[in-house]
Structure 1
């Protein structure tokens, strides 16, 4: 007699919904009331949060049919887990130090509430927060490498006339609650996985993967693992 499927505790469901920020991690659908939970190892009795992925019914169906591979599902889950780990270890408040005569030179997360007075006409140079990706040239440059590659491939999907090169920067800010170079270093790996996944899922990215071609260089390939 087959074992009865164990019900997933409500606490686990809440954690899974929080993990995906209440939107499908594959297609960004936000109709969370109809979301389903996928068992990554295909074992219904294994309700460990590490084995579960909440997503929309359409994407769940694509996984079941094999349109979305097991490898891609694991990559998405890995990204979500790394992102959550990075958030827990990152500082709760990022600060930006601005050079110049200001009423408050240290700004938490946003500078919109501050009045800034400058003696010169030149624009002030905003420094990156301590611990931010932008503080390390190699991290900043690798993120730029991935963003440039994404825009290159995405242009092929939508056409040059319809391409919005700034869109990815806004997507990153929405996902990580910070601009790309202000993302905490603790979330560098999560940001890279996020961008790599988007590159791989462009039309050109899928073609390259199907032919066994690489879509981007790894960080270690560029910087020698240093």
Structure 2
């Protein structure tokens, strides 16, 4: 039996814009929290008992990029349950149209997101219609004609990519410091005249940079710092402090000295 290659998933994810390929669906494949909620789906089933199975395909063709699509778990269930409404040609059209609307982007997230998607898929493998015995993880193997493998994990969280800003101790610490300063200023805003709730900073950063900040490359550090410093300065407490000549935050070099990184 063939297997899905990580290169195919990287290509799928890069073309997905991190969104389900079902029309009008904007559900993310990877949540900003790092939780993998999207799924790898076969357009034509990987096994004989699956939806839209094509006996003329080889195992390699079944598991190739051309026969795979990324969907949210809801739409994956729908297209595989309502086969008459969602034939292979229509799902292939979904994939093509979604790719045309998306901007292909390779980022530090791509490799790790692809690995987690593939890990999730492999942990939920179902082997059907086997003519002999299936042996898994020998020695101490399980032998059976049909084996259902189901992961007990509720969610998967991918690790921080190499070269990400959060992987650099000083940068990670300073960004956390600025986020904490923003939250502190918002908490002090007793009349709550500001338009920002202090916990909204994470969503604001995601909208600005298109990703969870920890996953951004280290080269984005200065942009993140400028963004956060402006947020702090434009908060109600920040504006009051600036008018009175008080500093709203210390500089990056000062921060490094404080944490003993210099």
Please indicate the TM-score interval, normalised by the length of the shorter structure. Answer: 0.3 to 0.5
Q: What TM-score does the superposition give when structure 1 sets the normalisation length? A: 0.47
Compare relative contact order (CA 8 Å, sep 6+) and give the higher one, 1 or 2.
2
Q: What TM-score does the superposition give when structure 2 sets the normalisation length? A: 0.41
> Which of these two proteins has the greater Rg computed from alpha carbons?
2
